[in-house]
Amino acid sequence: MTVAVKDLSQDRQKQMIASHYARLSRAGQEGRKVVYTFVPGNLTELLNNLGLLPVLPEINALQSGMRGKTGEYIQVAEKAGHSEDVCTYVKADIGMLKSGNLGPTGEPLPRPDLLLLSYTGCFTFLKWFELLKREYDCPVVMLHVPYQGDGQITPAMRKYVSDQLRDVVIPALETLAGRKVDYDLLSEQLALSARAEEDLVWVLESAKHRPSPIDAYFGGVYYIGPIFTSFRGTTDAVEYYQLLRQEIQQRMDQGLGPVTPEGTLSQEKFRIVVEGPPNWTSFREFWRMFYGEGAVVVASSYTKVGGLYDRGFRHDPTQPLDTLADYCMGCYTNLNLPDRINLLEKYIHDYSADGFLINSVKSCNSFSAGQLLILRELEKRTGRSGGFIESDLVDPRYFSAANIKNRLESYFQMVDAKRARA
């Protein structure tokens, strides 16, 4: 490994995020309205169009997890009556709220003026906002998003969602903002979204190269940061992804492997596809268990929770409401099981993976339901080795490092033994 050097894109992302939190901390003084919403199916372009500021509770929870705060937040939430099996993002958020709602900069996050539930594919989201509504005494606007039970988005489904956008969501947001949506601006924003999406897809697909210049899971979660949060449809996002693309292109030209916290990975021994969210409380330790064995994640489903751009979807500036409807219905967890299996199978083939791993998080049903079936089916279809580990999103009690390391070592040795026989 070589010494870790911060890339320009990383600095750029840091500045963007810092400026967003600075805006949030000034929201009260400047009289700006704040909307809490979730990553899957987020309507960032609409919020920005109306000058509303988004706060994403699950991002707060995962950042709290990375800062080592969630253990204590979860206990606070449990003390307040939330049971052990509830999604730990919810408990971390409730605990944070009850502990002063301090954001990553140490300043309190503004209270929401509205809760925008624009993705109902995760039932927990619904309950989560029900809880927040009680805490903040503010309105909730809900966009009901149909599940892709038959593996496709039909015109009727699209109309159902875009009608809700036009008749319910947009009027509520306009009332809050005190102004109307500027549709010319919205088209421009959506065009910017599509440009950033194009570059993001290029970056994610660079992992098809050998050696992969990126880790599409541990590195991937950083790459999706701007576009999954409050920057989609902005020039900031477009510039960030251009910069990132240039850097990755350079790595590829130089034949370099992915960046890790301990420098560039010098030898790619395993190419792995990962299904399921990562663990955030021991994120670095978890990552080290991979790069320590020379394992690179070449594709992951988690980096598609905020949009499956690599299947061709781009925000379409000519059809603003329909395209937002398609986006909301197109998140990874809104796919049915056969479609998830097809997607992962395609990743295994397209990215020449040696195997695939499932990190199963019991408290996240959107992901975990059906994962063993996925495992079996993928093993059968691809003949590659499947691995299964269990951890949690942000509850440090459910990350048993010794056991997970043991499991992963066994898994990589199994892949090796199987490869040697092939």
Partner 1 sequence: MDCFVGIDLGSTTTKAVIVDADGRIVGRGITNSRSNYDIAARVARFEAFTNARFDMLGQALRAEPGLGQSSAAFLGALTSGYRHECFLGQLQRLEDHCRRDVDGARYQDDRRAVGHALEVILQSVRQDAAKIYSGGAAARSDFFRDMAGASYTEHAAQLARAGGPAFDRLIGLFDRNIIPVENEQETRTFSQLLMAALDRVVQSSALQRDAVAGVLLRVAEAEMREVSAVGTGYGRVRLPFPKENIRSEILCHGLGAHLMFPGTRTVLDIGGQDTKAIQIDQAGVVTSFQMNDRCAAGCGRYLGYIADEMNIGLHELGPLALGARRRIKINSTCTVFAGAEFRDRLAAGQAREDIVAGLHRAIILRAMSLLARSGGIRNEFTFTGGVGRNMAAVKALGEVAQENYGQLQMNIAPDSIYTGAIGAATFALRGATNSVASN
Binding site for partner 1 (CB under 8 A): 362, 372, 376, 379, 385-386, 388-391, 398, 400, 402-404, 406-407, 409-410, 413-414, 417-418, 421
Our CB check for partner 1 shows the closer of 156 and 420 to be: 420
- In the complex, least distance from residue 92 CB atom to partner 1, rounded to whole angstroms: 18
Phi and psi angles of residue 300, each rounded to the nearest 5 degrees, phi first: -145, 150
- Locus of tokens 């925008």: 116
Determine contact, residues 366/332, Cβ cutoff 8 Å.
Answer: no
> Residues near 218 by Cβ (< 8 Å), separated by ≥ 6?
260, 278, 283, 286, 287, 290, 291, 297
- Phi/psi region, residue 23 (left: phi>0; alpha: psi -120 to 50; beta: rest), is alpha
Our CB check for partner 1 shows the closer of 101 and 400 to be: 400
- In the complex, least distance from residue 407 CB atom to partner 1, rounded to whole angstroms: 6
Our CB check for partner 1 shows the closer of 23 and 418 to be: 418
- In the complex, least distance from residue 292 CB atom to partner 1, rounded to whole angstroms: 10
Determine contact, residues 360/243, Cβ cutoff 8 Å.
Answer: no
Euclidean distance between CA atoms 378 and 34, whole angstroms? 43
DSSP category for residue 2: P
Our CB check for partner 1 shows the closer of 153 and 389 to be: 389
- Overall residue count recorded for the chain in this entry: 422
Beta bridge partners of 54: 35
Strands 270-275 and 385-391: unpaired
- In the complex, least distance from residue 7 CB atom to partner 1, rounded to whole angstroms: 31
Our CB check for partner 1 shows the closer of 3 and 422 to be: 422
- In the complex, least distance from residue 295 CB atom to partner 1, rounded to whole angstroms: 14
Our CB check for partner 1 shows the closer of 110 and 278 to be: 278
- In the complex, least distance from residue 85 CB atom to partner 1, rounded to whole angstroms: 12
